[in-house]
Chain A
Amino acid sequence: MHSWWAMKNLRAMKSSAVMTFRQNVFDMFIIFGVLIQPLLIATLALWMIGDRVSEAIIFIVVGSGMTGLWTNLLFESGNSITQERWTGTLEMITATPTPISVIVFGKNLANVSQSLGSMFVCYSLVSWVFGYQVSIQQPLLFILSLGMTVIAFICFGLIISPIFLLNPSVQRWQNALEYPVYILCGFLFPIALLPDWTTPFSYLLPPYWAARALHGASSGGTSPSDIGFSLLMLVVFSILSLLISQILFRIMLRKVREDATLGLQ
């Protein structure tokens, strides 16, 4: 019985991901967030670093790519439920037997997976346009870190979307949340350059551990055990996010059914 139910929900999750991907193909905001903005950031970083660029080239590729991942997670996964409400589809999907968390997981899967395109465009820019040699020091660990990053970002997105729906005032800070995370999580430069008091905030953000693992595996100079610790933290954050999201979704569904806000525009 449980395996039958799980299989049906897995199929629903896949459909949700495919549907989201099909919709995103036409979304100019996503095209900007995933492809254009990381390119602008990478170009800016190349000019800023100047003479030392060849040493930091992989850091720029991975870091710029991560900005695309975070932007897409914050705006697309964060807004996933709110957007459904605007289009009037939230009532339709809530009244199906598939749990809303499964549907949002599928949407996040599509959003985060396509955000990996950010890294590819940044790689293309620096290697083909600027002609730099780009190499990954620990390819296997990098692939593993990338996989864990995708999972951790999907799970983190499961927390953001119900919070945004429950607290529209938090959603108004969406734009303001974009750049501080780039900085606090060390996407484009190490957090060691920041004041010490900011470090605990970095440790509480799953994207920090993703950036640490990806930068460590790609740039080298980091021991496998240190990367392993970052991956472990990503696993811990993913599990925590999943657990918290289940509670948030339950609270959200109860509240929107009580307040009659499922169908509001």
Chain B
Amino acid sequence: MNAIEIRNLRRVFKTSIGVIRRKIKEIVAVDDICFDVPHGSLFGLLGPNGAGKTTTVKMLTTLLIPTAGSASVLGYDVVEHADAIRGRIGFIFGGERGLYWRLSGINNLRYFASLYHVDPKVSDERIPYLLDLVGLKDRGQERVEGYSRGMKQRLHIARTLLHDPEVLFLDEPTMGLDPVGARELRQVIRNLQAEKKTILLTTHYMFEADALCERIAVIDHGRIVAMDTPEGLKDLVSDLSVIEIEVFGLPDKTLGQLRQLPFIDTVNVEDQDQRQILLAHSPIGSEAVPELLAAMDGVRVGKVIVREPTLEDAYVRLVGGS
């Protein structure tokens, strides 16, 4: 049996434009998506900003009503049986809002524990344990307004584990955390995975999805464009090699010319301080390098690397990086 089942789920937002001649504009945030998450598995939702990941999570956590289609969590419909779902799930939305800043970390957790109907004796034991788990043991008595963004995010993680939920929705949980904090959180997620919790994770970090998820759905413009295991997704680009070229001041015109080359699948440029990294996907691998360099005549070039594709390369290909 699946912990989460989604069938033809769709969510449309309406917004108005203009003051005098008001026009209603419809934005399709989630468009006819279907997927299942089996009990005890970790499922990833990958996609660019505005792809529909958070909207999907909000529908599954009973905070939004779908426009069409259906979704169920632990066998309960998210619209009709929202009350039956709420005590059995936990969720985190990225960011630092959603806490009572004038209260201490401990008082925030005590309050949410009572709203989740956790027995006071249990919460008295569980709150110190969770504060220790998220590295806030020594700061729990302080008011949340003095916490850093990362500390607030970690407090959210403790909050979501208060009632030991069966299903967890983690919407970009490592956003705002420093590298050490993010690594520790990934370990927490692995531990939860070992406890056979069902987890739906959304993230921008490909290595995070690659390291944690058993299955991944790539979502773009509200639609699922691919769904497979991380290895299966990487296979989508197994016919390609990735050529990374360090460049300094690449003109847009040259970039356009590179995209027209017949042996190039996709080309992207990432800005990194004073330099740029040109990422080209090509089926001919290192043989493409001389022609690429020739096409960039006059552009200052640094290091050139040819490597095997990663999950990120598969993602770029799927969501249209050309």
> What is the interface of chain A, defined by CB distance below 8 A to chain B?
8, 11-12, 14-16, 19, 22-23, 26, 87-89, 91-98, 103, 254, 257-258, 260, 262-263
Contact = CB atoms under 8 A, between A and B. Distances in A.
Interface residues of B, number: 31
Given A95-B62, A97-B86, A98-B115, A87 B97 contact: yes
How would you classify the secondary structure of chain A's contact residues: helix, strand, loop or mixed? helix
Given A94-B63, A95-B63, A12 B115 contact: yes
Contact of A103 (B63, B95, B115, B116): B115
Contacts of A23: 100, 102-103
Given A258-B65, A262-B63, A96 B86 contact: yes
A11 B117 CA distance: 8
Contact of A95 (B61, B101, B120): B61
A97 B83 contact: yes
B110 interface: yes
A92 B98 contact: yes
B118 to A, nearest CB: 9
B181 interface: no
B175 to A, nearest CB: 15
Contact of A263 (B62, B63, B102, B107): B63
Interface of B: 13, 58, 61-65, 83, 86-87, 89, 91, 93, 95, 97-103, 107, 110-112, 114-117, 120, 159
Closest CB pairs A-B (n = 7):
A88-B97, A15-B114, A97-B87, A96-B115, A8-B117, A88-B98, A98-B115
Contacts of A98: 114-117
Contacts of A22: 102-103, 107
Given A11-B114, A22-B107, A89 B65 contact: no
A12 B114 contact: yes
A263 B87 CA distance: 20
Contact of A91 (B63, B100, B117): B63
